[in-house]
Amino acid sequence: MTLDAYYPEPIELEAYGNGGFRFGDMSHKGSLLILSSGIYGWPYGSFEDVTIDSFKALFDEAERHEFLIFGTGETQKFPGVEFKGAFIEAGLGLEVMDTGAAARTYNVLQAEGRKVAAALIAVD
């Protein structure tokens, strides 16, 4: 899967909801993957659609991040043991929370200059 950057660097999220996100005075419908290389549309509409392969772009630049904040949608859902193993193998931490909490946490950590990535499933 090739991702096209919607924004060429990680920046603060201005808003979330209504099926998307606002950042950089732009809006995006759908889920997001935020990496140090940019903000990308992420083609997963629900937690159940996400697999370990969904994080390939993150794993490809794992050395540029400390951990991933995974926003699982309206409610917090926990991935299986295989996810934890893949993240441990990549040398990345994994924090799982609902998308609202994940977006707010991402903004705080990004403002602090932390090497954080985020995978955020869009919510209504």
Residue 38 sits in a domain of what CATH number? 3.40.1230.10
Beta bridge partners of 40: 5, 33
Q: Could you report how far apart the first and last alpha carbons of the chain are, in Å?
A: 26
**pLDDT of amino acid 8:** 86
Look up the pTM and report it: 0.94
User: What whole-number distance in Å separates Cα of residue 105 and Cα of residue 109?
Assistant: 6
pLDDT digit of tens for each residue in the chain (124 aa)? 567 667 888 899 999 999 999 999 999 999 999 999 999 999 999 999 999 999 999 999 999 999 999 999 999 999 999 999 999 999 999 999 999 999 999 999 999 999 999 999 999 9
Do 98 and 105 meet the contact criterion of CB atoms below 8 Å apart? no
Find the domain containing 68 and state its range.
5-120
The number of distinct structural domains making up the chain is 1
